[in-house]
Amino acid sequence: MEKNTGEDFATCPYDNAHRVLRSRLQLHLIKCRLNHPHVELQKCPLNQLHLVPEAEFERHLMSCPDRKIIAHYKYVDEMKFLKHDPIESEENWDDTESGNYNPETYARSNQIIRKPVGPPSKRKAFRHEEEERWQQLNRL
Amino acid sequence: MSEDQSRGRRRPSREQQGSGSRSPQETLPSSAGGGDSRRRREREPSDEPRPSKVYKKEPISPDRSSTSSRNENSRKEQPSTSAGSRGGGGDSADAGDNASKRERYEIVHTRPSDIQTKMGSGGAPVTLQTNYYRLLTKPTWRIFQYHVDFSPPIELRRVRGGMLSEHRATLGGYLYDGTKLFTSCKLSEEKTVIRAKSKFGDSYTIVIKYVGVISMTEWQSLQILNLILRRAMEGLKLQLVGRNFYDALAKIDLREYRLQLWPGYQTSIRQHEKDILLCAEIAHKVMRTETVYDILKRCTETARDFEEEFRRNVLGLTVLTDYNNKTYRINDVDFSKNPTKTFKCKEKEVSFIDYYYQKYHIRIRDQKQPLLISKAKDRAMRGGSSDIIILIPELCRPTGLTDTMRSNFQLMRAMADHTRMNPDRRIDRLRIFNQRLQQTEASVQVLNDWNMALDRHLVELNGRVLEPQRIVFSEHRKESAGVQADWTRYFRENGLFTTPSRGLERWSVIATNRNSRELRNFVESLIRAAGGMQMRISRPREIMLYDDRNHSYIQAMEDCSRQDPQLILCLVPNNNAERYSSIKKKGCLERAIPTQVITQKSAGNQRGLMSIATKVAIQINCKLGYTPWMIDLPLSGLMTIGYDVAKSTRDRSKAFGALVASMDMKTNATFYSTVAECSSHDVLANSLWPMMTKALRQYRREHENKLPTRILFYRDGVGEGSLRQVYEHEVKDVVEKLDQEYKRCGSEKPPMFAYVVVSKSINTRFFMNRGQNPTPGTIVDDVVTLPERYDFFLVSQSVRQGTVSPTSYNIVYSNIRLTPDQMQLLTYKMTHLYYNWSGTTRVPAVCQYAKKLATLVATSLYQPPQNALEKKLYYL
């Protein structure tokens, strides 16, 4: 059960006026980052949601609540590691240098209905592009 | 080999490998680059495009090392790469040779050019059927979209639809989804205003505003197709619950459990690899017949403090209200109020009784019942509705299964009898669905109106069955896993891959006095079973308890742990979750000793004792950090990572993410695991990188300071809706940090990395021979895949009952430089390594481990375990 409402909201690090539901914060940041390209914030290496100004970064690093992820990691005892002889395999793929598959190339050159993404302005442009693309495809 | 070495330097990424003998050599252009490519050709029969090499003439400059230079002289400038220490004599000689030329050539490897297809070719072809139907024709004309506003607003979608349908004449053929209206011909005006009267005489204004044209080549057209289909399905007299249609008439009553099963259909029309297909899947909805009011009455009868008891039962439940078909979550109960209380509705004070009667024609019977309070969901709140919703217990039906129901074996079996369907039965049901849709007059009418025709037959497609993989046992003996991917029977002859050299020497068993006979029996079988697998287990230290209180077990464990045992085995009388939790907490949080819990029921099972003992022996071997079996992997320097999240059962705002990584399985058969607490608000992982750093650091420690060459990340637990965000939030971050980390460690090149999203809950099913499950290892990478993804389906497990569900793998990022064939085979191989099961699993083993670990922490430990355990599979 969710308790008080105080915890359900978070303030966006890019703009103090942005109060967003805590569960939407991740998605909000993805968008807000694009809208504030000039705001320079340091990303905490321990938690991507911690975006702090350069000046406070050092202090944040020392007091980050997620330090526990690595804090106890300092104390590791020496272990012996279990290794075995390499297992023989019929094949060896070590020097494979295959390219990546780019689905866009395929989708673009075939009669495929593509999904528009991005902000509304981009989606609009995409729709125009798509119209032309389909016309070209139909001509072929 | 020596010749190769003298020809040029190794590619940096390869230097991480232990065995120099097989490592491929990069050649300088001056010395026959063709030889190299010829060799590669031989190994790779498939006609993949080779990496394009760009030869650049470039004068020597000191800053060149910062670029991804591959020339041997540049290595001198590198501060202290791992490569530097390994420089062979051949290399330096070569370097001098080259330096004499004033100009030198540099090979700049651009990324290998993209491959043209995501289809593989390995394995035996097989014809499969799948639960999709082709759309033979679809509307081709343009469709006009309108926005519809009612004032005053009408809550019920059905009523809104009804109001509109009275104006059919003005609208022509139309589709309405609740807010949007689609018509096949344009209305005469941009903004049509209709004044209408409802059945009760209230007058409404309907404003229909023109939005735009949609051509059938746009994404939105798929939405229209889905709407048409839904309209057609309405003709089948199905009821809409949530998003899907269920057949209330064909419901199955499980009266003794107060449950109903409603059979139904999940349908969706999507753009697939080549065509637009309709996916149809048989689904069942569990409906509880009791209402929250029934729970209340039960509480008043049984409990002394019924208010408290009722709260305990009801808070957090999701309820369905029949009148508007919506679900709410109960956050509080207000015992001080009852339905006669009034509230403000349209400037008037109305009591709940009157309100429900006026709006829905429902009479509330008990006027003294308390009221339920629900906080609005995020989405509703953004839509501007009030944040507190008051509900009447009588009208709320709890949804889903409670934990007590879920643990009720008989209930679950009774349900499974109906919900679990063998492939032939499922095909039959799909056929009936199709027939109904194409024969019911009302449906046919809708489909014809919109020029939509469905195929009568399921889509057939070509899949491939990968060869059975070979399982490696002790002394590297290999056995084929067989067609059914089950290698239980090979343990006796072959023995476990690695076991502790001196066996399990120091260990303790704890049981109650009453179970001493079962305990001795079981330990006897355990030692015998382990002996059969060439694992030595010595006699344990026995501790007998007088009672089965949790405290006694904990006390005994504390006593044992003074002797630094390798393992503690607890025999418990039943599977009490609290006791299990305390034992695990003691073992994982306080003491870092692996624990094994076994119930009296399984230990006392006379007939199956030997097979249970075998399984436990394998588990114990894993918990000690050793490996029962391995697979042969054609890649070295590979790290596979699995990640999954589980929500904490105690504190709902917390969740635990677990990451499990393999450590170059060619020479090291152990797994590394780590857990981090995260917020249950977040769908995406925030702390992926610190966890990955830990895994990478462990890898370096175990492999003489080398980092993995290739990293394959399997991400479980993200839905389809957040794929893009996963890419933006997780993948980009990890890729960037990997680059930095590799640079920092002196590696010239970032690792070859791929990020694969694994989804298990998908609606796609495959059938072989018109009514059988496909065999394990079946790959489908065409027709039903999605065109805007690099994805494939893999059936890896084999099931005895019901229909097997394939797993979908979506490669959202890749520069791992493996062919689709290799990715598929590698994934299949990775499903062979889950040591709780001597067969293949549905997802790659690392994912299964991550899930298991996350669940253990979220349901029993509630905080990350001791890191002394992180190299052992203590969570099995």
Angle of CA points B664, B668, B669, to nearest 5°? 105
Q: How far apart are CA B212 and CA B100, in angstroms?
A: 71
Among the partner residues A93, A99, A105, nearest to B635 by beta-carbon distance: A93
Q: How far apart are CA B481 and CA B494, in angstroms?
A: 13
* pLDDT the model gives residue B385: 56
* pLDDT the model gives residue B866: 84
Domains in chain B, number: 1
pLDDT, tens only, B781-840: 999 999 999 999 999 999 988 999 999 999 999 999 999 999 999 999 999 999 999 999
Among the partner residues B50, B115, B630, nearest to A101 by beta-carbon distance: B115
Of A67-71, B244-248, B542-546, the least confident: A67-71
- Best CA proximity match to B471, nearest among B633, B624, B321, B675: B633
Tell me the nearest-neighbour CA distance from A91 into chain B, angstroms: 5
- Considering only CA atoms, give the Rg of chain B: 32
Complete DSSP assignment for B201-261: S-EEEEEEEEEEEE-TTSTHHHHHHHHHHHHHHHTTT-EEETTEEE-STT-EEEGGGTEEE
Other beta carbons less than 10 A from residue B349's beta carbon: 10
pLDDT, tens only, B676-705: 998 888 889 999 999 999 999 999 988 888
- Which of A70, A81, A83, A96 has the highest number of chain B CBs within 10 A, making it the mutation to test binding with B? A96
**Beta-bridge partners for B329:** B318
Half-sphere exposure of B833 (CA within 13 A, CB side): 29
Residues of B with a known catalytic role = 644, 716
User: Residues B320-324: what's their mean pLDDT?
Assistant: 81
Total length of chain B: 876
Close Cβ partners of A70 (under 8 Å, ≥ 6 residues apart):
A46, B690, B693, B694
- The DSSP element (H or E) to which B640 belongs, if any, is strand B638-647
Complete DSSP assignment for B140-186: -S-EEEEEEEEES--S-HHHHHHHHHTTHHHH-SEEE-SSEEEESS-
Q: pTM here?
A: 0.81
Amino acid identity, position B617 = A
Chain B CB contacts of A114 under 8 Å are 219, 271, 787-788
In B476-563, where do the E strands start and end? Answer: 478-480, 507-512, 541-545
> Do the Cβ atoms of A26 and B683 come within 8 Å?
yes
Q: What token pair was written down for A129?
A: 């592009």
> Do the Cβ atoms of A2 and B375 come within 8 Å?
yes
SS3 A81: coil
pLDDT at B33 over 60: no
Other beta carbons less than 10 A from residue B588's beta carbon: 25
Task: Give how far the C-alpha of residue B284 lies from the chain's centroid of Cα atoms, to the nearest Å.
Answer: 21
Q: Cα(first)–Cα(last) distance of chain B, in Å?
A: 44
> Do the Cβ atoms of A92 and B22 come within 8 Å?
yes
* pLDDT the model gives residue B71: 40
List B residues 267-296 in contact with A (Cβ-Cβ < 8 A): 271, 274, 276
Burial class (CB in 10 A: 0-12, 13-18, 19+), B700: middle
- Best CA proximity match to B703, nearest among B743, B758, B665, B677: B665
pLDDT at B27 over 60: no
Q: Is B480 on the interface with A (CB under 8 A)?
A: no
> Do the Cβ atoms of B668 and A113 come within 8 Å?
no
* Helices H / strands E in chain A, number of each: 5, 4
Q: How far apart are CA B138 and CA B787, in angstroms?
A: 19
Q: Is A2 on the interface with B (CB under 8 A)?
A: yes
List B residues 53-92 in contact with A (Cβ-Cβ < 8 A): none
Q: Is A45 on the interface with B (CB under 8 A)?
A: yes
pLDDT, tens only, B740-765: 999 998 888 889 999 999 999 899 99
SS3 B75: helix
Burial class (CB in 10 A: 0-12, 13-18, 19+), B448: exposed
Q: Is A30 on the interface with B (CB under 8 A)?
A: yes
DSSP 8-state class, residue A126:
H
SS3 B602: helix
pLDDT bin (cut points 50, 70, 90) of residue B164 is confident
> Do the Cβ atoms of A2 and B817 come within 8 Å?
no
pLDDT, tens only, A73-124: 665 555 677 888 888 888 899 888 888 899 988 988 888 889 888 888 888 8
What CATH number did the domain enclosing B512 receive? 3.40.50.2300
Among the partner residues B635, B665, B694, nearest to A73 by beta-carbon distance: B694
- Best CA proximity match to B134, nearest among B271, B305, B285: B271
pLDDT, tens only, B558-598: 999 888 899 999 999 988 889 999 999 999 999 889 999 99
List A residues 67-106 in contact with B (Cβ-Cβ < 8 A): 68-70, 72-73, 76-77, 79, 81-106
How much is the ipTM here?
0.88
Complete DSSP assignment for B802-859: S----EEEEEEEE-S---HHHHHHHHHHHTT--TTSSB--SS-HHHHHHHHHHHHIII
User: Residues B518-546: what's their mean pLDDT?
Assistant: 92
Q: How far apart are CA B414 and CA B775, in angstroms?
A: 27
> Do the Cβ atoms of A127 and B871 come within 8 Å?
no
Angle of CA points B760, B764, B768, to nearest 5°? 110
> Do the Cβ atoms of B22 and A94 come within 8 Å?
yes
* pLDDT the model gives residue B79: 39
Chain B CB contacts of A31 under 8 Å are none
Tell me the nearest-neighbour CA distance from B137 into chain A, angstroms: 15
Of A10-14, B407-411, B632-636, the least confident: B407-411
* pLDDT the model gives residue B166: 82
List B residues 29-48 in contact with A (Cβ-Cβ < 8 A): 40, 43-44, 48
Residue keyed to tokens 């139904």: B264
Q: Is B498 on the interface with A (CB under 8 A)?
A: yes
* pLDDT the model gives residue B26: 38
Q: Is B676 on the interface with A (CB under 8 A)?
A: yes
pLDDT bin (cut points 50, 70, 90) of residue B381 is low
Angle of CA points B165, B170, B173, to nearest 5°? 65
pLDDT bin (cut points 50, 70, 90) of residue B649 is confident
* pLDDT the model gives residue A2: 39
pLDDT bin (cut points 50, 70, 90) of residue B191 is confident
Domain limits for position B521? 499-623
pLDDT, tens only, B152-162: 877 777 778 88
* pLDDT the model gives residue B377: 64
Amino acid identity, position B702 = E
CB of B483 closer than 8 Å to CB of B500: no
Q: How far apart are CA B791 and CA B824, in angstroms?
A: 10
pLDDT at B88 over 70: no
Look over chain A and give the mean of its residue pLDDT values, rounded to a whole number: 83
Q: What token pair was written down for B524?
A: 């006897």
- Considering only CA atoms, give the Rg of chain A: 25
Q: CA-CA distances (angstroms) from residue B722 to A122, B684, B728, B737, B823? A: 19, 8, 10, 22, 23
Q: What token pair was written down for B545?
A: 């308890």
pLDDT bin (cut points 50, 70, 90) of residue B541 is very high
> Do the Cβ atoms of B669 and A84 come within 8 Å?
yes
* pLDDT the model gives residue B386: 63
pLDDT bin (cut points 50, 70, 90) of residue B357 is confident
List B residues 301-330 in contact with A (Cβ-Cβ < 8 A): 315-316
Q: What token pair was written down for B68?
A: 């991804």
Q: How far apart are CA B475 and CA A16, in angstroms?
A: 63
Structural domain includes residue B70: no
Complete DSSP assignment for B549-595: -HHHHHHHHHHHHTT--SEEEEEESS--HHHHHHHHHIIIIIS---E
pLDDT at B106 over 70: no
DSSP 8-state class, residue B730:
I
